[in-house]
Amino acid sequence: MLPLRADDGYRLWLRYDRIADDSLRASYAQAITEIVVPAQPDSPWFPRSIPTARDELVEGLRGLLGVDVPVVEKPTRDGALVLGVLTRSPELAALVSERDSRAAGEHGYIIQPVVRDGVRQTLLVANRDIGVLYGAFALLRHIQTHRSVATLAQISAPRIHLRMLNHWDNLDRFIERGYAGQSIWDWFNLPDVLDPRYRDYARANASIGINAVVLTNVNANASVLTRKYLEKVAALAGVFRPYGIRVFLTARFSAPIEIGGLKTADPLDPAVREWWQAKSQEIYQLIPDFGGFLVKANSEGQPGPQDYGRTHADGANMLADTILTRGGHVLWRAFVYSHEMPDDRAKQGYSEFQPLDGEFRSNVIVQVKNGAIDFMPREPFHPLFGAMPRTPLALELQITQEYLGGSVHLAYLAPLFEEVLDADTHTAGSGSTVGRIVDGSLDLHGISAIAGVANIGSDRNWTGHPLAQANWYAYGRLAWDHTLSSEAIAKEWIRQTFSNDPDVIQPLAAMLMESREAVVDYSMPLGLHHIMAVGHHYGPGPWVDVKDAGRADWSSVYYHRAAVDGIGFDRTARGSDALSQYAKPVRERWSDPATTPDELLLWFHHLPWDYRMKSGRTLWDELGFYYQRGVDSVRRFQKTWGGLEGKIDAPRFTHVKALLGRQEREAREWRDACLLYFQQFSKRPLPEHVEKPEYSLEHYMSVKRRNIPGDPARR
């Protein structure tokens, strides 16, 4: 057993530490004796991707095996690992079946053992250069997780075309809803100084298949489209290009006015269209593989086409026309709700976008959050999924934990991602899952996309909480293949990030798998939602009303509707009728409290405090049960983590231990504040199984947190 090496988390899951088991290490060294990189021309779209794959293999194998594996142009010995692009190597293409080549697609890879001239070799080949790089990372992952490579045969291709990270980073380096420090983009020193961290960021993303990055906040600043900033963006694009990552930018809809000198941004105005055409041409001159634009319009005060009496389709199509011939895409966000608030906020995205189905250009993708409110700890899937079959829809997930305790609370989000991807919309019969809608296979779209709001910042360990790295990793793995299980991904991440010791893997995986549900339990159980503190969203605030929030649908009382007669938001036909936006099988199941899953009960129903739950408890007692269960879960995590002392390096062990201590304290605060507040309406004593609150309701209501990271008011 090698001694534990202190780790600050910077290396993420690409640690490549030497394998302690001598026999296992020797078996890998025997299986890969040399790296063969035949001479071949570079790809114009993925320049240096093959050399990058070669260098990653050399570095990774040196670390894992403790030897330098030689690089040659032709196989010379048994155990050669042969890299190549099938479309440029007829000799290698002849060794791969046409079926396997088709299965790998444009960006997938093939790892296949062969025997040539009596010599045992392993092919690592693809139809494009970037596929070889993805295959190199997959092979190293295989070794890091101590799986055999002697007879490894694998074909893997991404199910979704654009696998994107959305950075909510501002040009002043403040990250909206970011909890791990400042933005890693040092705009002041770009393009002259290229921080080595940019390459490490690209490596980490490529290792999990992420191939597109939106650099700037959806609450956009038009300045990023000026020449000065575009040159900085071009410098970043140059770092990312060998790793197969295309750069996207957020486009502020009023940019023609703010930086173009026009008096209007009307998408049907010829001068506006001409301005965007010229701007797109300028961008492509600097960044030939520019991916396109992400747009937040007519939402939360952002400008948009509705300011001129135009539709979202008018605005999206105007931008899409300027980049269509360049292979660019417009991702137009469906996160919209009216300033006048005429209806249940959960209905408004559907109401605005569903009538526009089929009106968008072929290179427009409508980007839809997983739920209709706003990244709550749990939401039902957004009703737009399945309701726009003639329009490609991207799924937007939040990796950063805006409503799940930021970088303080442990919340492994892969189960949340898996939950929505596996959700059956029933819009085209059984099996019409969100995953199949997003990957384009249900409606046969030629382009598909998924987006994750990044949790990355300038903290040395990238994500603040050491275990929050798992959310970045899991998002990438599910973006590549949404049929993977969140538990398998958790174990894979643990093996690469901490240890291959079963005594570490099993308890830590169990802890991760339970963690998101624990946060739901102690904050917003049984379908409760949006009951957090105002503004910064950190901590409980079920008492927040319109006076605190500024508008009703930013308040908590609008959503939980607690009163003497009960609690919950009625979204059935008797209430807001938001359920009418779902397909009939879903609508019928969720319209009846008896058949609505407990975890969504108060999302769709307003029920009396003495409503009898499936457990046999009253609703009030059940609410107390869930809040207490959440606290108990965190205490169990503390015990589990404590049992790993000596098996985890001291810096990361100490850091996580401290964070779990704080999480337990804040879980109790959530439980006590919410139950005491709701008790005013239930008029019932706290259930026997719930611990006595430490303070009064007045105390919890008086708590005012300041300087919360990521709070826009902090800028």
Q: What are the catalytic residues? A: 300, 374, 402
Q: Which of the 8 DSSP states describes residue 552?
A: G
Asked if 254 and 211 count as a contact pair (C-beta separation under 8 A), the reply is: no
Asked if 382 and 371 count as a contact pair (C-beta separation under 8 A), the reply is: yes
Place of tokens 């790793």: 243
- Residues 198 and 239: their CA atoms lie apart, in Å, by 7
Q: Checking phi first, is residue 244 left (phi over 0); if not, alpha (psi -120 to 50) or beta?
A: left
Q: What would the two tokens of residue 241 be?
A: 């290009």
| Burial classification of residue 707, based on how many CB atoms lie within 10 Å of its CB (0-12 exposed, 13-18 middle, 19 or more buried) | exposed
Asked if 107 and 128 count as a contact pair (C-beta separation under 8 A), the reply is: yes
Question: Who contacts 558 (Cβ-Cβ below 8 Å, separation ≥6)?
Answer: 530, 546, 552
**DSSP annotation string for 626-648:** HHHHHHHHHHHHHHHHHTTBTTB
- Residues 119 and 519: their CA atoms lie apart, in Å, by 55
- Classify each residue of 562-595 as buried b or exposed e, where b means 16 or more C-beta atoms within 10 Å of its C-beta: beeebbbbbbbeebbbbbebbbeebbeebbebee
| Burial classification of residue 697, based on how many CB atoms lie within 10 Å of its CB (0-12 exposed, 13-18 middle, 19 or more buried) | middle
**DSSP annotation string for 198-243:** HHHHHHHHHHTT--EEE-S-SS--GGGGSHHHHHHHHHHHHHHGGG
Asked if 695 and 688 count as a contact pair (C-beta separation under 8 A), the reply is: no
In the chain, what's the furthest Cα-to-Cα distance? 83
The amino acid at 709: P
Question: Who contacts 545 (Cβ-Cβ below 8 Å, separation ≥6)?
Answer: 555, 556, 557
User: Angle at CA 601, nearest 5°, toward 599 and 607?
Assistant: 145
Which residues are registered as beta bridge partners of 143? none
